[in-house]
Structure 1
Amino acid sequence: MTNAPKTVLAIHDLPGFGRAALSVIVPVLSTLGVQTVALPTAVLSTHTGGLGTPAKLANPGYGPAALEHYHRLGVKFDCIYSGYLADAAQAKLVEQAFELWPRAFKVVDPVLGDGGRLYSGLGADMVPAMYSLCSKADLIVPNVTEAALLLGDPLPGVGSAEQAAAQAARLTRVAPQVVVTGVTGIGGGRYIGCVGAARGGEGYAVKTPLQPRMFHGTGDIFAAVLVGRILRGNVPQAAVQAAAAFVAECIRQTPEGADERLGVWLENALPKLRQE
């Protein structure tokens, strides 16, 4: 069927409460007309950002068995998109998916850290494992801390758009397309931005007015819109602009005083995404 939706295999964790990971990725991609097949790396009662220790359901054998089942069924994935991985073994799971569907567009959000530090619970072996995974991807979407970790640069990361652009360019030695997110210090601190780079091509920058609130899950929303827009035919720079604009819209739709741990009020913003 020529008009059949594109299909994405999304390999991320699934938190029940708190808008992050698969709980926001699936509705965003569906709104953009993309079928999402969710492969949870773990099922959590909440995300891990400030809501206490979540209950966790994990089965190491589930992921490989699910991939083999999809392969036997002849499922075609147009894109494989991975995010938070709990350990180096799960990076091997994503690599297995890449090998089973070699023609899929491969996107890695290398979730390693933020705010100048590695996330708690991740071992030092996650950095080389994520580097190896990124080297097999078509597009990677690190934040400024993760870019520094992948490159072996001093933390906390970059301090300017120019430094971020240089790191994005260096990361094209790892993956052909790179988008570095969370670049601050633009326009005297009035803007937050992303910088993109492509192997053999020119770089670009996208900025949006800085919203003075920090919500969990916005990076997942950004990357999901980016993936969905590219699958709908947008060039990466246009897809980045759309993703940044939608995250800003999500924050605007979230009332002042809302608990930032619970994420943005995505439900209010999704109609805007459909209109676009």
Structure 2
Amino acid sequence: MKKVAVIQDMSSFGKCSLTAAIPVLSVMGVQAVPLPTAILTSQTEYPSYYCEDLTLKMHHFVDEWSKLGASFDGIHTGFVTGKEQIENIFLFLHTFYKEGTTLLVDPVMGDRGEMYDVFSNELIGYMKELVKHADIITPNVTECCLLTGQSYDKLQTYQTNEDYLAAIEEAGRQLQSTTNAKVIITGLNPPAISKTRYVGNMYIEESRSFHSLQEYNGKSYSGTGDLFASVIMGGMMRAQDVAETMELAEKFLSAAIEATVKERVISQDGVNFETFLGMLL
């Protein structure tokens, strides 16, 4: 069985990070091996939460797993609390990233044009260094802008889907050429020029690119990016074509979001994806 080290926080409420990655990878036939970067009572979009930062504990995982002679087919990084944790990830990569290992970096830094409050601008420079080591990167539109210097505000001024998508692809190609990684930009949301809005994703590699758009229902939930990235990692471990895996992730999330909307779940609680895990088999 393939093993993936998942370096993310563990939030008890919010259905994100490790509580999203572990069930997705498991149902896709992959052993998820968690390395928690922090323990939170709930994810950070709740009005109140407690966070226990595990920066000073991360080296114990490297030490103890080294004693076990552990090896990993994949390494999946997500939410980190700051530059010290990225430095710890570099130590982890030095020990466990070998030929044939797939590194997926989900550069969690912000959304909707804003950096998350818990981060400083210093993190961007460290994240730029981390993504240079990745085999695949899954930023949302905001994170792609932070990594490339593209103006998020300018993206909102385009009057056609074609112009918006061309600007996103330009930024994605810049990120791809800088890192030589495959890039999937999530959360495409062209500005409304009619009553119908769309949401989607774009894939970029050196030799090809493609995107998908579907009607947007106006709802946004915690953890959907984590679920998407986890499906992508599971697909890579199954040697699936990226286009096939993207389509699977989109169908899985669409079904989960539709059910969650019907149940009137608040956005912080995340999507009720558990019922739909069978779609990933």
Both structures adopt the same fold (TM-score exceeding 0.5): yes
Deviations 1:57-112 (A, max 9, x none): 22322111101211221111001110011100111122122211232211100011
Which gives a bigger RCO, structure 1 or 2 (Cα 8 Å, sep 6+)?
2
1:232 paired with 2:238, answer yes
Q: Which moved more, 1:153-162 or 1:54-63?
A: 153-162
Any residues of structure 2 matched to 1:147-186 within 5 Å, and which? 147-156=144-153, 158-159=155-156, 160-175=164-179, 176-185=181-190
Contact 2:253 2:273 in 1 (8 A): no
Deviations 1:193-231 (A, max 9, x none): 1111113x1111122332321111100000000110111
Q: Which moved more, 1:229-238 or 1:112-121?
A: 229-238
> 1:94 aligns to what?
89
Contact 2:7 2:35 in 1 (8 A): yes
**Structure 1, gaps ≥5 residues long:** none
1:83 paired with 2:78, answer yes
Q: 1:14 to 1:55 in 2, by over 3 A?
A: same
Query: Which whole-Å CA distance do the structure 2 matches of 1:262 and 1:97 have between them?
Result: 31
Contact 2:141 2:185 in 1 (8 A): yes
Any residues of structure 2 matched to 1:31-46 within 5 Å, and which? 31-46=27-42
Query: Which whole-Å CA distance do the structure 2 matches of 1:222 and 1:59 have between them?
Result: 25
**TM-score, reference length from structure 1:** 0.92
Contact 1:29 1:224 in 2 (8 A): yes
Query: What is the number of equivalent residue pairs in this alignment?
Result: 268
> 1:194 aligns to what?
201
Query: Which whole-Å CA distance do the structure 1 matches of 2:64 and 2:9 have between them?
Result: 20
Query: Which whole-Å CA distance do the structure 1 matches of 2:153 and 2:66 have between them?
Result: 41
> 2:9 aligns to what?
13
RMSD (CA atoms): 1.7
Contact 2:184 2:202 in 1 (8 A): yes
Instruction: Give 2:212's aligned amino acid.
Output: V
Instruction: Give 2:165's aligned amino acid.
Output: A
Percent sequence identity over aligned pairs:
28
Query: Which whole-Å CA distance do the structure 2 matches of 1:141 and 1:185 have between them?
Result: 18
Instruction: Give 2:138's aligned amino acid.
Output: V
Instruction: Give 2:188's aligned amino acid.
Output: V
Instruction: Give 1:39's aligned amino acid.
Output: L
> 2:229 aligns to what?
223
**TM-score, reference length from structure 2:** 0.90
Deviations 1:167-194 (A, max 9, x none): 1111112322111111112895442111
Instruction: Give 2:168's aligned amino acid.
Output: A
Query: Which whole-Å CA distance do the structure 2 matches of 1:108 and 1:139 have between them?
Result: 6
